[in-house]
Structure 1
């Protein structure tokens, strides 16, 4: 983080970190609290280690981390992770068409496990299929790896559609309350039916008219394999976003030893800081670092079923037709399948 970015961050949340000095002790400077909180996120060091490094008490370090994360969530959410509008969705869709060759796309969606230390009285609530304890980060990402919608805090054991279906995003898309633009024709293909705007996800998600997943099975036609490739290519946006997030904030490579409610706030703060610091010139370097370290944020599995409505299947068929037509094909797709 550059000094200018640090100063801007301090100007945004500094008042929330300020405390009154007393006759017994001077209050910790907001800048030092911010430095401690960012160091915890960026290094993944334990609170005890940070206390020694900064010559502060462990409780002071603990409070500083919580204060910084809460201040970021409170003071920066509206600016760096706002609720999408119809214009926002159109901007995201334009970005996916230009950079990932997928039209009418509202974003790439995926879920990741954030590993935590098992809270004592919770039994197996946070126990997931990877045999670790975790909470789930569900994210919708745009073409530039920016988080547009996140849902944090579901128990690691939840599966079979629970994470997505129970999220504000899932319910909002189902009830059509998220200001999604109306259906429109695909670029250069007015002869095809108007199609709704859709999210793209992997096979763990259910097929919906507004959520595309790959065709299942091995013995697919060439046209269906083309569709799966194009969808998988667009999905790289969310995988890369998670990679950049974990590369910049090494806390995601560790087992977080905080109360689950505080972990929720920490993850939201990290996502907001990700948007705040996002720079195209640094993305590839961070992705290369994460590739060397290996991905430690395990994907969520078994979130959706295989049954889908006829409408959803028809939408996928039209996309498949488009990607195999002169208007929607790309020159390299036949080599990739």
Structure 2
């Protein structure tokens, strides 16, 4: 009985230590508001260098604000016990930068001064909300009359009748997941997912008018 009691007490102490470690915020992360990329680099580019801002996010500051206006309310997190919550703008900036260059999670973690697991969760959550907000705007399915109008444009512009779209594809390189085998392996010698697009004659996605 004494041995069992000792083991239980030891396990409880170890569990408390692990919980304490998990709750501790690293000092470099606690300085996010003062030294993180959003408060410094991104803010400076927004004020003084719009070209670099566009290069960083692949969109202008005006476009960023428009997107934030759409998705921001869904990204707002309310927790009265925490004062270090990421703002919707920070969440969007982390996600857009990741989508722009596909950087490593650990690099994003250091740049924005948040934990790697936080970066991963933010990107996943924000991408989901972006899809929900934009799918009916950016991926609108044409009506019958719109298909006919697209075919007419192809014939007028390219003298190509009965055509409703130009198809093209792109390999988006990814890191293969463990035990995936040859599932995502392509003939170029890398792992990727295929991105296929069908566009009207002017090569722009069909949008809600």
The CA deviation string for residues 155-195 of structure 1, in whole angstroms up to 9 with x for no partner, is: xxxxxxxxxxxxxxxxxxxxxxxxxxxxxxxxxxxxxxxxx
Q: Distance in 2 between matches of 1:146 and 1:74?
A: 21
Q: Does 1:104 align with 2:162?
A: yes
Q: Does 1:22 align with 2:80?
A: yes
SS in 2 for 1:104: coil
Question: What is the CA distance between 1:100 and its match in structure 2?
Answer: 2.9
State the partner residue of 2:30.
none
State the partner residue of 2:191.
133
Structure having the higher helix fraction is 2
Question: What is the CA distance between 1:98 and its match in structure 2?
Answer: 3.7
Q: Distance in 2 between matches of 1:18 and 1:82?
A: 27
SS in 2 for 1:12: helix
Q: Which has the higher contact order (CA 8 A, sep 6+)?
A: 1
Q: Distance in 2 between matches of 1:35 and 1:53?
A: 12
Question: What is the CA distance between 1:117 and its match in structure 2?
Answer: 0.9
SS in 1 for 2:165: strand
SS in 2 for 1:122: coil
Number of residues of Structure 1 aligned to a counterpart in Structure 2: 150
State the partner residue of 1:89.
147
State the partner residue of 1:13.
71
95, 100, 119: which one pairs with 2:177? 119
Question: What is the CA distance between 1:78 and its match in structure 2?
Answer: 0.5
State the partner residue of 1:64.
122
Q: Give the alignment's Cα RMSD to 1 decimal.
A: 2.1
- Structure possessing the higher radius of gyration over alpha carbons: 2
What is the correspondence of 1:262-301 to structure 2 with a 5 Å cutoff? Answer: none
Q: Distance in 2 between matches of 1:93 and 1:123?
A: 42
State the partner residue of 2:20.
none
Structure 2 gap segments, 5+ residues each: 1-58
